[in-house]
Amino acid sequence: MKSVRIIALRQDRKRLLEHLQDSALIQIRKSEKSRDGFSRVDLSSQEQVFERNVALSEQALKILDSVSPEKSGLLSSFKGRQEVDPDEIGVIASKSKDVIAVCTRLTELDKKRSDNAAEQVRVKTQLAQLEAWQNLDIPLNTMETQSTAVFIGSFPRSYTDEQLKEDLAAENPKLCFETEIQHSEQTMTCAVIVVPKSQKQMAEETLRTLSFQKPMSPTSKIPKDKAEKLRAKQERLKEENEAARAEIEACADRRGEIQVTQDYFRIRADKYHVINELDHSKHVFIIDGYADEADCDKLEQLCTRVATCCVEFGEADENAPVKLKNNAFSEPAQNILTMYAAPGTIDIDPTPVLAFFFYFFFGMMFSDAGYGILMIIGTTFLIKKYKPDKRMHNNLKLFQYCGISTTLWGLVFGSIFGDAPAALYTFFTGNKITMAQMLPWPTLDPQKDALTLMLISIAFGLIHILVGMGCKFYMCLKQKDWGGAFFDTGLWMLLLIGIAVMAAGFAGMPVLTTVGAAIAIACAVGLVLTQGRSKKGIVGKVVGGLASLYDITGYISDLLSYSRLLALGLTTGVMAQVFNMLGTMMGMSVAGFIFLIVILPVGHLINIGLNALGAYVHTMRLQYVEMFSKFYEGGGKEFEPFALQSKYIKIQEDK
């Protein structure tokens, strides 16, 4: 990585930034303050306009998706972005004003629909309140006549006219009244009570004791007339909503225009954001950043071609970002690495090692040739058919390579959809046969050879850990940390190898036991003598060296973690065999054949889903916890170039 400084004329700023954004060759370095003699330009208002247009178009697309969802298949998420010729950007820009007008109209229509929906709820509530008063021939807000006081309201219980009169008389025998019940149900009675004006206050006190309540929304119209008016309003709101929905649906064919316009404004907002952070003088501006060393010549040629400028390259500082470069085999695993952390300044790029072991361990855990072939076919089809973007392409390639490994390990274990070939042969012929008898090569059965596979798994784990420690050894040599390389790493590597050789000797070669024990003891003595070298005093050094031997328990624990290679491989095979047994258990009959057709696909799909996920997660764990902990620091920052951060389109590369 190289540091870059570009000094160019202000008159060339627009053209230069557009080409830099299109090329994605430079990551622009931002600083909080401008250098002496320079200042910052304030284009935040223009940037905000573009960002508002991006937000507006996003809202418009959500509205379209809610009213008229885009018809797409289950696999459409694998489809790459639409390729756009650079010349089409000008066409998109010329149409942007019209498209934003459409987006504005869509938001207005959606707001109208929301407001109408809220109003419809209010109308429905009012109609429900008026339902009990449909036979009343006076307005609900009537309070008095020339000689009487009128009380219109409800009681929180069921009344007959006779019962109501009895309760009123019982509460106040002096009260003169007339009642008329409009509606009565179990929890409410709506009534009109008329009393002489002179007894109005007396009536209010009496009614209050009976929990009398006036209507929540008294109206100056007769309830029946008010209800008719509300129903008319309800119908009008419904028609307006249907019209708004129809108008929104009519805009569905402009979804593509809205998407590309959104990306156009997103690109412009990014460019103006960068301009706001550049140093400007009266005639020139300065861009500071980082570029890949391999792209320096290309960057310089681009800058001098499109602008009058000076390009300077220098050594990158410790804050420089990291740009990973790997071959076609390793590159798919970069996403796994960056999920953990980008390499730091002292790290090596572990992607090639990570890629090999990820594919290897995933295949050993999933370990079924049938499933592996399905993975290869599926990922190959998606790559060829949909031509996904780079990140999705790498993810698919990752699972394609995992599928190859799964197929190979499935052949080693003699698992093809479990024991499906043998189960189907028995189902159709009635003759029992095993997979070992059907396959022309020797296989390892995880159920019968579990101990052997356990030892193989731990052996692979030892190799994996030693590779990680080897990376640490190399890093220490690169930094000229001889003690860290030979004492802190080399001795531990030899100790583990000695223990492994000694363990191999127990299998029937006593000489290996002797050699392994000698290596292990010599390395243990070396660790005791060297691991306390940073301590003060002889006692401190000896105690520190002896204490370091306790780390052997950590290595043993790490090695035992690789037993999951056997466990998950065994789980995949056993579950597949169980579904094969269930599918063939009803024998050769019409019902049995139907049962077979239903159970086998469903069962194997469940097995694929569960165990592919388990293999993916546990393979990552072995990389992150068991190997990375031996050498990888991380903490770096990925190279994030000034580029076209588009969601729906990508600019076609120059041929």
> 420-437: per-residue pLDDT in tens?
999 999 988 888 998 989
Dihedrals φ, ψ of 155, to 5°? -110, 145
Specify whether the CB–CB gap between 164 and 191 falls below 8 A: yes
Specify whether the CB–CB gap between 57 and 262 falls below 8 A: yes
pTM greater than 0.85: no
- Domain ranges in the chain are 141-214, 331-440+449-630
Q: What is the mean pLDDT of residues 560-578?
A: 93
**Could you read off the pLDDT of 376-385 as tens digits, one per residue?**
999 999 999 9
Which class for 341: exposed (0-12), middle (13-18), buried (19 or more C-beta within 10 A)?
A: middle
Q: How far, rounded to the nearest angstrom, does the alpha carbon of residue 572 sit from its chain's CA centroid?
A: 27
| Count of alpha carbons within 13 angstroms of residue 269, beta-carbon side | 17
How much of the chain, in percent, has pLDDT values that exceed 70? 99
* Token duo for residue 598: 């239903």
CA distances from 651 to 87, 136, 204, 316, 390 (A): 9, 71, 79, 30, 14
Residues 6+ apart with CB under 8 A from 560: 458
**Could you read off the pLDDT of 224-264 as tens digits, one per residue?**
999 999 999 999 999 999 999 999 999 999 999 999 999 99
Residues 6+ apart with CB under 8 A from 198: none
Beta-ladder partners of 288: 5
**Could you read off the pLDDT of 598-628 as tens digits, one per residue?**
999 999 999 999 999 999 999 999 999 999 9
Q: CA torsion sign, 509 to 510 to 511 to 516?
A: positive
Beta-ladder partners of 179: 193
Residues 6+ apart with CB under 8 A from 443: 411, 412, 413, 414, 435, 436
Taking the C-alpha atoms of residue 64 and residue 122, their distance in angstroms, rounded to an integer, is 26
Beta-ladder partners of 311: 6
Three-state DSSP at 213 gives strand
Specify whether the CB–CB gap between 526 and 532 falls below 8 A: no
Q: At what angle do helices 255-276 and 13-23 cross, to 10 degrees?
A: 120
- Whether the per-residue pLDDT at 294 is higher than 70: the answer is yes
Taking the C-alpha atoms of residue 103 and residue 64, their distance in angstroms, rounded to an integer, is 10
**Could you read off the pLDDT of 53-112 as tens digits, one per residue?**
999 999 999 999 999 888 876 677 778 788 887 778 888 999 999 999 999 999 999 999
Where do the DSSP E strands lie in 56-128? 82-84
- Whether the per-residue pLDDT at 536 is higher than 90: the answer is no
Report pLDDT for 237: 95
- Whether the per-residue pLDDT at 372 is higher than 50: the answer is yes
Q: What is the mean pLDDT of residues 502-530?
A: 86
Specify whether the CB–CB gap between 446 and 570 falls below 8 A: yes
Write down the architecture of domain 141-214 according to CATH: 2-Layer Sandwich (3.30)
CA dihedral 483, 484, 486, 488 (to 10 degrees): 120
Taking the C-alpha atoms of residue 588 and residue 586, their distance in angstroms, rounded to an integer, is 7
Specify whether the CB–CB gap between 564 and 618 falls below 8 A: yes
* Token duo for residue 171: 């509460």
Nearest CA among 30, 47, 26 for reference residue 642: 26
Report pLDDT for 649: 85
Q: For Cα atoms 441, 444, 447, give the angle at the middle one, nearest 5 degrees.
A: 140
Q: What is the mean pLDDT of residues 263-290?
A: 92
Taking the C-alpha atoms of residue 475 and residue 469, their distance in angstroms, rounded to an integer, is 10
Task: Name which residue leads in pLDDT, 201 or 529.
Answer: 201
Taking the C-alpha atoms of residue 168 and residue 210, their distance in angstroms, rounded to an integer, is 8
Residues 6+ apart with CB under 8 A from 369: 406, 407, 408, 410, 411, 415, 416
Taking the C-alpha atoms of residue 164 and residue 210, their distance in angstroms, rounded to an integer, is 10
Q: Which long-range contacts (CB under 8 A, 24 or more apart) does 525-529 make?
A: 526/487, 526/491, 527/487, 527/491, 527/492, 527/495
Beta-ladder partners of 5: 288, 312
User: Using 50, 70 and 90 to split pLDDT, how confident is the model at 655?
Assistant: very low
Dihedrals φ, ψ of 349, to 5°? -80, 110
Name the residue type at position 23: S
Residue whose entry in the numeric block shows the structure tokens 């005639």: 283
How much of the chain, in percent, has pLDDT values that exceed 90? 67
Where do the DSSP E strands lie in 512-594? none
User: Using 50, 70 and 90 to split pLDDT, how confident is the model at 654?
Assistant: low
**Could you read off the pLDDT of 343-358 as tens digits, one per residue?**
988 889 999 999 999 9
